[in-house]
């Protein structure tokens, strides 16, 4: 594909739309249109590490009007909105544009914002509709399709940073990951531009900005059906604002200049625009749209409902009744091996001691439901696995409490899956939930009440006397609840049956532990790209020496002071 753009906007026989729309841009600070570089780029890496703090202030990343102009064209080329869309923003930087795409796309899932620079992603963590992932673009494209599947991928102002030798494998990998009928949109700029740049900056731009045919050719070779569209945005900016952007090296073009060259360039622009209060230019964006052929209807998504407003969901069928009964027998065998009961630290993180619990933690039905509950997060970690046993008439209960009070996880993108291995109902102390309490942290008090299984007898005074909602569970069924959702459990009545359950707590890979950096986790989906926690090793056999050593290191880190570590259950 030659990739030439002729006067009617047509690109080598592909459908192409050239539009010019009258806009006057302002310097208002707002969300940015995100971009970053592949870590393969020698110029990109130091540039984005240095400018991360001030990046959003530049016009192209702060103007709401400009962002919405870009977003409008993107939605049209991606054929959005679509509630079922699964979107990746590759090179998404601070996540501002990712959040805008998530809000405008109508998708029920978060946008996966992938970036090579932790400094940029620090800001992405704060966006509620964004899942950040720390990964180089080329490396991301090599992830197996079984691990990374989506319907839409955006590469905005990214590909010119990637070495030419890596471009074919980038698009080949994205094509393999993309679902049938999916769309990949690359947004880039031409070699010849209209920006108010000084002479040396113009030279650097042309040297480092490949012709768009280098990308469309690689897209076609990867199997995409390609269209190229050009859209023009006439902009007017205060001259002093533009010069401040140049001094701040808002584009990587300026990272090639020494401090002396940059100041000489600014002086050149000041002389060129002497007596003018504004600068005017046309920003031309090229939208390179690749579509993957439809191979049939895509499989419908499944899993538990997110229940975002209520903070919990269920019941969800995870195991068959026979599988749940077999797991209960294995629990009894575990208790016997420990001398007749599962108590103290052996209640916690038994997936490090027992291969069958490790397999339960990564059960596909659980992982899919948790992913959906967390807004479609693809990179998931199992943070804990806790056993809870109540015997009829033992009087054990837990008061109203929020797990988030004790664990120091931020942001609170954490979900507990409570899996019943025996029947769990009102008569034997099932969980009761207070709908909607996950929206804020509530005050707790320590009561040290007899029978309260929490270490300090914690409870939430404002929920005193509230019954809450109970979801009865058959063996093999589970509930999901948010880490901030207030919940409690009553005692198992005399004459009822024992209640045995496993609480598995999952979190998105971008969640940080503020209490103890020694925390360890098990990857159950995707990748731990941030490396914020120590990764756990699976047990080779039940209660073997290596497994016991791993478990002994892990439990004190995950369960800080204030969280129950005693005999009972929840």
What digits encode the pLDDT tens for the residues 142-178? Answer: 999 888 999 999 999 999 999 999 999 999 999 999 9
pLDDT in tens, 434-456: 998 998 899 999 888 888 877 78
Domain ranges of the chain: 52-292, 308-558
Where would I find the H helices in 338-412? 355-361, 364-373, 404-407
End-to-end, the C-alpha distance of the chain in Å comes to 64
Residue 70 scores a pLDDT above 60: yes
Q: Is pLDDT at 487 greater than 70 in this prediction?
A: yes
Give the CATH class of 52-292.
Answer: alpha beta
Helices and strands (H, E) in the chain, number of each type: 16, 23
**Which of 83, 87, 108 minimizes the C-alpha distance to 98?**
87
Residue 360 has pLDDT above 90, yes or no: yes
CA distance 517 to 116: 22
Instruction: Tell me the CATH class for 308-558.
Output: mainly beta
pLDDT confidence of residue 41: 38
Side-chain-facing half-sphere of 87: CA atoms under 13 Å: 36
pLDDT digits (tens, 9 = 90+) for 168-197: 999 999 999 999 899 999 999 999 999 999
Task: Give the predicted TM-score (pTM) of the model.
Answer: 0.72
**Structure-block tokens of residue 182:** 């999916």
**pLDDT tier for residue 509 given thresholds of 50, 70 and 90:** very high
Domain 52-292 matches domain 308-558 at the CATH topology level? no
For 350, half-sphere exposure in the C-beta direction (CA atoms, 13 angstrom radius) is 24
């Amino acid at each position: 594909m030659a990739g030439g753009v002729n006067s009617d906007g047509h690109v080598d026989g592909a459908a192409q739309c050239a539009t010019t729309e009258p806009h006057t841009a302002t310097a208002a600070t707002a969300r940015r249109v995100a971009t970053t570089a592949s870590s393969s780029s020698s110029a990109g890496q130091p540039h984005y590490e240095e400018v991360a703090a001030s990046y959003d202030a530049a016009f192209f990343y702060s103007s709401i009007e400009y962002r919405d102009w870009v977003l409008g064209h993107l939605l049209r080329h991606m054929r959005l909105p679509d509630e079922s869309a699964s979107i990746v923003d590759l090179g998404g930087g601070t996540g501002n544009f990712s959040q805008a795409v998530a809000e405008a796309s109508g998708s029920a899932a978060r946008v996966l914002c992938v970036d090579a620079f932790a400094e940029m992603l620090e800001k992405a963590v704060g966006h509620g509709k964004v899942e950040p992932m720390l990964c180089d673009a080329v490396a991301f494209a090599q992830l197996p399709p079984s691990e990374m599947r989506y319907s839409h991928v955006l590469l905005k102002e990214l590909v010119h940073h990637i070495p030419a030798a890596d471009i074919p494998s980038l698009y080949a990998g994205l094509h393999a990951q993309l679902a049938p009928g999916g769309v990949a949109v690359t947004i880039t700029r031409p070699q010849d531009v209209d920006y108010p740049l000084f002479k040396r900056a113009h030279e650097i731009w042309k040297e480092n900005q490949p012709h768009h045919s280098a990308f469309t050719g690689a897209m076609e070779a990867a199997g995409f059906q390609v269209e190229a569209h050009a859209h023009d945005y006439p902009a007017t900016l205060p001259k002093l604002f533009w010069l401040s952007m140049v001094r701040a090296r808002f584009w990587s073009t300026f990272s090639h200049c020494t401090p002396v060259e940059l100041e000489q360039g600014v002086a050149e622009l000041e002389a060129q625009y002497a007596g003018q209060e504004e600068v005017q230019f046309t920003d031309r964006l090229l939208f390179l749209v690749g579509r993957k052929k439809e191979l049939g209807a895509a499989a419908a998504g499944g899993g538990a409902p997110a229940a975002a407003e209520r903070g919990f969901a269920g019941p969800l069928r995870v195991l068959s009744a026979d599988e749940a009964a077999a797991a209960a027998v294995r629990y009894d065998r575990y208790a016997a091996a420990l001398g007749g009961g599962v108590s103290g630290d052996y209640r916690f993180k038994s997936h490090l001691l027992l291969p069958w619990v490790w397999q339960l933690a990564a059960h596909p039905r659980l992982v899919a439901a948790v992913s959906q509950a967390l807004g479609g997060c693809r990179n998931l970690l199992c943070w804990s696995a806790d056993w809870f046993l109540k015997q009829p008439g033992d009087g054990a209960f837990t008061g109203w409490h929020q797990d988030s009070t004790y664990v120091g996880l931020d942001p609170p993108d954490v979900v507990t899956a409570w899996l019943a291995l025996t029947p769990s109902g009102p008569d034997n102390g099932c969980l009761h939930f207070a709908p909607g309490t996950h929206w804020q942290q509530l005050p707790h008090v320590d009561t040290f009440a007899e029978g309260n299984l929490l270490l300090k007898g914690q409870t939430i005074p404002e929920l005193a006397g509230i019954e809450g909602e109970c979801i009865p569970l058959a063996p093999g069924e589970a509930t999901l609840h948010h880490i901030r959702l207030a919940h409690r459990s009553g005692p198992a009545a005399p004459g009822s049956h024992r209640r045995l359950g496993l609480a598995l707590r999952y979190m998105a890979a971008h969640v940080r532990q503020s209490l103890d950096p020694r925390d360890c986790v098990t990857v159950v989906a995707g990748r731990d790209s941030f490396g914020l926690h120590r990764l756990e090793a699976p047990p080779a056999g039940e209660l073997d020496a290596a497994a016991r050593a791993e478990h002994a290191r892990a439990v004190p880190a995950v369960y800080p002071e204030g969280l129950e570590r005693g005999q009972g259950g929840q």
